[in-house]
A and B are shown apart, each in its own frame.
Chain A
């Protein structure tokens, strides 16, 4: 099937198999490997991207569903490689990542969350983070980073 989708403000036209996962379209066809695939069944949140501004699991969506829609991946956050988004700055300052595998999914989930709730409580941040698994840093520093970002 032929699809036309906008990813990080760039329009792509691609011929894809109907069963191609959105995550695979992003990673393999478009080369945007910042989006990570962890569990492949929607449990870990590593593949989270923004679909018309809302966070979705790109491993649970088909590429064809992205036709006519706007996708934003972690690659869209920083204005330039040396100019991090405030959320990214906060993650760096708070040591909110270790191996960094879960980080792109968490950043995209938290970007949408902070737009919806710019001044969250720590409790609300933890609730919003509950769909993203991190297996190395633990969550405290991630919560700290989101709180820090919300105060910027």
Chain B
């Protein structure tokens, strides 16, 4: 075994590049014909999208394309579930992964609604400001407990409630342990 890495500080090979500004981060890559994207995002936490008019944005010189959920066709689908829930018996798990662009309604402030591709970032931002989204603002739920009350505004109507996941895990004999404890502390964690 080599002793090169033991008993002394090791200087990193990548540091000179990073320290002198010669590293190559993704945003540093400049290719011929490189295009720039910017997203039109929802100003509402919860709203129905009644319509999106992209005509003015498309007409901005230097704009290559403007996409909405409707333009994505079959490519429009929720993203993959990256972290599956643990295999707990009786678990309720209402999987609703993020969609690429909001369709029909937005579910959080900042949710992407349209994508503008242009010859420069400046033009893309100009055109994004020209995308006219007709929103019908809906009541937003911003409190965990209020979200669970009957009649609360639903983030996903098809789920029927705002419960994302529900599971109960037990181990041992709590009742007996609590009875024998000299002190029982009760707390709610929200």
Contacts and interface: CB of A to CB of B under 8 A. Distances in A.
Interface stretch (B18-26, B149-157, B165-173): B18-26
A92 B15 contact: yes
22 contacts: A20-B122, A24-B121, A32-B21, A33-B24, A33-B30, A34-B23, A36-B25, A74-B20, A75-B22, A77-B20, A81-B22, A82-B16, A88-B19, A91-B19, A92-B16, A93-B9, A100-B14, A100-B15, A100-B17, A103-B18, A103-B19, A107-B19
A52 interface: no
Given A28-B30, A36-B25, A100 B9 contact: no
A19 B120 CA distance: 13
Interface in A71-122: 73-75, 77-78, 81-82, 84, 88, 91-93, 95, 97, 99-101, 103-104, 107
Nearest to B19: A88
Contacts of B18: 97, 99-100, 103
Contact of A33 (B14, B19, B28): B28
Interface of B: 9, 11-12, 14-25, 27-28, 30, 121-122
Interface residues of A, number: 33
A99 B17 CA distance: 11
B19 A101 contact: no
A115 to B, nearest CB: 18
A71 to B, nearest CB: 13
Given A92-B11, A97-B18, 12 more contacts: A19-B122, A27-B28, A33-B27, A33-B28, A34-B23, A36-B25, A36-B27, A77-B19, A84-B16, A88-B20, A100-B23, A104-B21
Contacts, number: 69
A91 B18 CA distance: 11
Contact of B27 (A19, A31, A37, A73): A37
Contacts of A104: 21
Nearest to B18: A100
A124 interface: no
Given A17-B122, A19-B122, A28-B30, A35 B21 contact: yes
For the complex of A and B, list the 6 residue pairs with the smallest distance between their C-beta atoms, beginning with the closest: A34-B21, A100-B18, A33-B28, A74-B21, A88-B19, A92-B15
Contacts of B27: 33, 36-37
A31 B21 contact: no
Contacts of B30: 28, 31, 33
Contacts of B12: 92, 95
Interface in A24-62: 24, 27-28, 31-37
A81 B17 CA distance: 8
